[in-house]
Structure 1
Amino acid sequence: MNINVTVTHTVSPELKDLLERLIGGNATAASPAKRKTPVVGMKQPGEEVTKSDLAATLPERPKEEATEQPGQTASATDEPELTLEEVRAEAARIAKLSDDHKVKVKELVNSFGVDKLPSLPKEKYAAYYSQLQKIA
């Protein structure tokens, strides 16, 4: 038994243009365009996504100009501060690896004297993130 379903959509010219640029042809084609060359960096089903793969998808942070206060010296080894979103994303990624990892991530949060990640002081994000990397 064969069942054919045809769906017709009306799209804005902007969306049609975007679709045509994405698939490299006519956006009104009945079947999706097949790529002759693989997308660079695209993982195949079942391939593991690494931290560097994820980092490559993040936008670059704008560089902040040094605003040195009297009595302070800039350090050449200063790294950009981590955001709660970045720390949370890494904790979630590691927690999803296994039930054991989930327990370890929760224990790590507790070892910093807080019950939940949003309660962790910003100045402890780097240390927490570093410890997360050891769990993974």
Structure 2
Amino acid sequence: MPNIKYTATRELVDGSTGSISFSVTRCTRVPKSTGKEHTALSGNTESVLYRRDIEWQISTSPFFENQLQLWREFEASCANGETFELDTSDIPGGRDTTVCRLKRNGFREMRQGAFEFYVTFTAIEV
């Protein structure tokens, strides 16, 4: 099971330890490049790479409502670029603890059935 450790700064949940262990339905490591490419009339191409980020696209398995407050605390505590530790060593292709930050507007909370929820988020390696 992957694990997240973060600093609970928003205090939405009393006694929050700043740690969540969860099951995943999807945990994919994806390299993303940001840049531009320009082709001149002569046919020559100029390519500029601004940066290359490594993103983790994660979807949790459904969980019950009692864990929802922990996920909301995590999102509120890391929504402004605060870092957290993502440990994916228990899944195939995963790594040991990696320092990440949440991608802006990359956290989604969804309902599945009457009392089950799941979240998806994108973590960017720092």
Same fold at TM > 0.5: no
Q: TM-score range by the shorter chain?
A: under 0.3
Which one scores higher on RCO, CA 8 angstroms, separation ≥ 6? 2
Normalized per residue, which structure has more helix? 1
Normalized per residue, which structure has more strand? 2
Structure number with bigger Rg: 1
TM-score, with length taken from structure 2: 0.23
TM-score, with length taken from structure 1: 0.22
